[in-house]
Amino acid sequence: MQFLLAFVVAGPLLGAVAALLPAPPGLKGKSPEQAVLRHGVTVTGAILAAAIALAVGFDHDAPSRFQATTDISWIQALNVRIHLGIDGISLPLLLMTALLFFLCALYSYFKLPAGPSAKGFVALLLVLESGTLATFAVLDLLLFFLAFEMVLIPMYFLIARWGGAQRQAAAWKFILYTLLGSVVMLLGLLLIGLKSGTFDMVALASDNGRGLSHTTQVLAVLAIGTGLAVKTPMWPLHSWLPDAHTAAPTVGSVLLAGVLLKMGTYGFVRILLPVTPDGMATFAPYLGAFAAVGIVYGSLACLALARKGSKGDLKRLIAYSSVGHMGFVLLGIASMTPTGVNGALFANIAHGLITGLLFFLVGALKDRYGTADLDTLAGATGAALYGRAPRFGALLAFAAVASLGLPGLAGFWGEMLALFGAFDPAEGLSRPAFLTYMAFGAFGTLLTAAYLLIVVRRVCMGDPKAARSEGAAPAALADIQHYEFAAWTPLVALTVLAGLWPAVLLGLTDPAVQKLLAGGNS
């Protein structure tokens, strides 16, 4: 188990180095480009297999205990250790990350985005995977920061070199926002480490803030929370996200929404809740307020983009929807209750699966039409996907109703539990304030349903013959291709599974959350 976890974290990095080397003659296939793309699929597939083996070997009777741990001294002067381990909180995120990277590598094998070279693309993808997996597996504050920062440069180049229109401006906005947030976050992490005498996250969580003064906790939450909020992204620190999603290639958008946003909320749960509980209690009402505003703001922005004549970009609309969905995650965390935090973790996974699928679909739709402009896609009578590409249209409708939180699908449980958490927040928090936030969140679910159903009506419905005669729409529209079916089916299946059988996920997270909020005591 220790070797498996180490391989999951370091394997992609070794694969990235190998991707830059010349391919052996017998493995080149039809071209060097095909060989390196096959290499990317192989490495991400091996990492996914190792992550599944970890899940199989995981002791499901003790999900609150860190397992597959490695603890080696690294920098003795600072007491920094290479400390790895997984529990019921990090295991689902690790599995989802490995799955999404494999599906993105598989999709790119058949549909490589236009850019400089396949070698560079695969190497950056694997470095990005190593950084994200390490973020969910490390148990040392400074290692967490290094892993957290490791993803920035690969994502910058994926947007800047393989993205679409306005990619340079979007990439610079992404890197500047996240780097500035990270500088502030590092100060907070150092403050905790120096005041407590350790950077070990397990020891700090067990201490539950008893070794840190109230002022230290407040300052640490302010600094670390700002950096995490930028990555989440929390309103009003979200403005880098729509530009990055709009400009990024399809797989870049999938990974940005499905994996990178989860790193911010994971930091709130793994670091701030157990290590600085008094500081979190001070800021929880403000975090809940920002979350509630973000839910409504994101939905209203999507409604504006979905309106006829607004020339709204469909990728941009899905990006703004992420602001609203991540607002539910932050609201659950702000409640500081087991119900709310479990809801936040469930919503994290559901958002990764559903929004990853939506970005796959919107990217494929853009490839077919040459644009993601909603007015162009809808045309005068609708793009009529039901009549022109029925399987594609049905899958887009499925992803939309999953995203709006239809009961029986994954999107429902996380948002419902987050609202329940706000209904009865932790002791010491203002219940009237959180009831107000819950009302905002409930209103946001109605707005979410409104804009997603508008998108389905405009893109999926209409007269197929009229759509073909408009000229803007291609005369023939391909339905789902075999490689698209292979890349998207796992996300559909897991969305249904998590919706019908939420205990699969909650059985892992709940004991770990109970222990985390109890200060390391089961």
Reported as a single tens digit per residue, the pLDDT across 16-45 is: 998 888 766 555 556 777 888 888 999 999
The whole-number pLDDT of residue 317 equals 92
SS (H, E, C) 156-217: HHHHHHHCCCCHHHHHHHHHHHHHHHHHHHHHHHHHHHHHHCCCEHHHHHHHCCCCCCHHHH
How do residues 208-261 score in pLDDT, each as one tens digit? Answer: 878 888 999 999 999 999 999 988 888 888 888 888 888 889 899 999 988 998
End-to-end CA distance of the chain: 23
How do residues 302-332 score in pLDDT, each as one tens digit? Answer: 999 888 877 778 888 999 998 999 999 999 9
The whole-number pLDDT of residue 473 equals 54
Give the global pTM: 0.92
How do residues 440-483 score in pLDDT, each as one tens digit? Answer: 999 999 999 999 999 998 888 876 766 555 545 555 677 888 98
SS3 111: coil
| Integer Cα distance of 141 and 201 in angstroms | 6
Q: How confident is the model at residue 421 (pLDDT cuts 50, 70, 90)?
A: very high
CA dihedral sign of residues 503, 338, 334, 128: negative
Query: At CA 70, angle to CA 68 and CA 73, rounded to 5?
Result: 170
The whole-number pLDDT of residue 81 equals 83
Q: How confident is the model at residue 117 (pLDDT cuts 50, 70, 90)?
A: confident
- Over residues 407-416, the mean pLDDT reads 91
φ, ψ (nearest 5 deg) of residue 372: -115, 10
SS (H, E, C) 241-273: HHHHHHHCCHHHHHHHHHHHHHHHHHHHHHHHH
pLDDT of residue 205 exceeding 80, the answer is yes
SS (H, E, C) 444-491: HHHHHHHHHHHHHHHHHCCCHHHHHHCCCCCCCCCCCCHHHHHHHHHH
| Integer Cα distance of 479 and 108 in angstroms | 18
The whole-number pLDDT of residue 25 equals 56
The whole-number pLDDT of residue 122 equals 92
Report yes or no: 425 and 431 within 8 Å, Cβ to Cβ.
yes
Ramachandran category for residue 72: left, alpha or beta (phi over 0 → left; psi -120 to 50 → alpha): beta
pLDDT of residue 520 exceeding 70, the answer is no
The whole-number pLDDT of residue 24 equals 62
CA 275, distance to chain mean position in Å, is 23
- Over residues 42-68, the mean pLDDT reads 91
Structure tokens at 471: 């000229």
The whole-number pLDDT of residue 103 equals 95
For the chain, what percent of residues have pLDDT higher than 90?
A: 52
CA distances from 437 to 262, 264, 273, 277, 433 (A): 22, 21, 20, 21, 6
What residues are paired with 82 via a beta bridge? 72
The whole-number pLDDT of residue 468 equals 59
The whole-number pLDDT of residue 60 equals 86
- Over residues 258-268, the mean pLDDT reads 91
Crossing angle, helix 338-369 and helix 503-517, to 10 degrees? 130
